[in-house]
Amino acid sequence: MTDMTLIPATATALPAPFHARHLIGGRTCDSADGAVTDRLSPAHGTLVSRAAKGGTAEVDAAVAAARAALAGWAATTGKARAAILLKVADLIEINATQMALLECLETGKPISQARGEVTGSADLWRYAAALARTHKGDSHNSLGADMLAVVLKEPRGVVSIITPWNFPIWILSQKLPFALAAGCTCVIKPSELTPSTTAMLGDLLMQAGLPEGVANIVLGEGQPVGARMVSHPDVDMVTFTGSSAVGRAIAAEAGKSLKKVALELGGKNPQVIFPDADLDSAADAVTFGMVFNAGECCNSGSRIIVHADIAEAFTARVVALSGQVAFGDPLHPDTQVGAIVTPEHAARIDGFVHAAKAAGARVTLGGGPLSIPGLGGQFYAPTVLTGVTADMAIAREEVFGPVLSVLTFRTLDEAIALANDAAYGLSAGVWSENVHTCLSFARRVQAGTIWTNTWMDGFPEVTFGGMKQSGLGREIGSYGLEEFLEVKSVAMRVGRTRAPWVKTV
């Protein structure tokens, strides 16, 4: 095995556990029955946070508060909404150090990455603030001298927002500010594994002057909190980020009342590497895509499709680079990859790797847990599997860990067929110096985002979302705002020009 770059436990003193509470109707509170959930650091094993554990009573109260606040918030001007969103962005930046530390300790991700996620999320709030003032409908003045029609865009209503554990503040910021910019009111449930930054954001919303009940937070588990947020008759829309299995269940439940649903789900994202590519840049990006956030990322570059003539040499580059990636204590500023979120998830990753070996794949790098001096065993080595065929589970299913499958191709048509041979369609990448190759790939591959000669670059202005079982709808960008708006057409007759339909005698 390639020698790894390991960063042992630091002597950093850990903060006292954070107390996360619900936010309902503008007031923070614990659960009526006193139930709580404790979260231990996946890297250090110490208590990070103690969160109120809600139930249906808290959800019902939060939905009632959101419904009561809807008319007032929907009637506010875009200017007023934007002013509050901009204040929230400023407060996120002011509190970024504490928020990043909480994300680092709850998720296991490196502190440098957590800090970038928190500060980057402020930019999403600022972009949503711009949309609050600039979004508009349409007018039609070519319908004849006696007719005028306008298309209005109105807030959809009360929105349930359910977010995952891997990017808590970032994914919430892809949804909440856009819903608020549209004039919707919200009920939010973060993952029970990572409640703290969402609860902290609730305090910042109140400091920014958001009216009571416009945004409510209920902490707890998918059953019963998430389930009630989906089935509640006074909820008009559900937006969810998480697994495809849960997304399908949400869509089925929401379909009973025909709620609007927006789903950002899993991915099995391919990168296709042609021989004429800048192979050094491609190898670096592939390594990044494999291990970023310990592979716990829907956009993880979990499979590469490499031209057969360069496959062996290119894979060797990725293996060599992987040995230089710093794994270890998330609190160390030089750490690039931290801990796996739970022991159960680490076991799931390992199960995929063992199944791939049994199916005939070869472990070229890694293949098991990683021991970090002074820390627990909740780390997993970067793992590269070669000899992978398209029918193997490791090539088709989302592992959500630092595991890379290597497949090979000979022709562009074969590469595109392999890229599309998955149930998912979230993102894909192509590496070639030939613009025609890149454009052909981008037009034919079935994915919501295509990267050419790069990987995982994102901007608030550029919308994000998937095809096939990677989800429904779009987030961020102007399309992300549209998800929270209902379209209404108004046709107006000018003057008394309508000819009578009923013929009177």
Catalytic residues: 264, 298
State the amino acid at position 259 in one-letter form: K
Distance, in Å, from the CA atom of 441 to the CA atom of 272, rounded to the nearest integer, reads 9
Among 93, 82, 173, 88, CA closest to 134: 82
Give the Cα separation of 428 and 122 in Å (integer): 27
Alpha carbon 338 to its chain's center: 19
Alpha carbon separation from 3 to 264, 321, 373, 377 (Å, rounded): 37, 11, 15, 18
- What secondary structure does DSSP assign to 61-106, as a single string? HHHHHHHHHHHHHHTS-HHHHHHHHHHHHHHHHHTHHHHHHHHHHH
Token duo for residue 141 = 């003045």
- Alpha carbon distance 226, 55 (integer Å): 9
Question: What is d(CA 165, CA 103) in angstroms, rounded to the nearest whole number?
Answer: 9
To 10 degrees, the CA torsion angle through 234, 236, 239, 244?
90
| Residue whose pair of structure tokens reads 């089935």 in the numeric block | 231
From the list 358, 50, 88, the residue with the least C-alpha distance to 202 is: 88
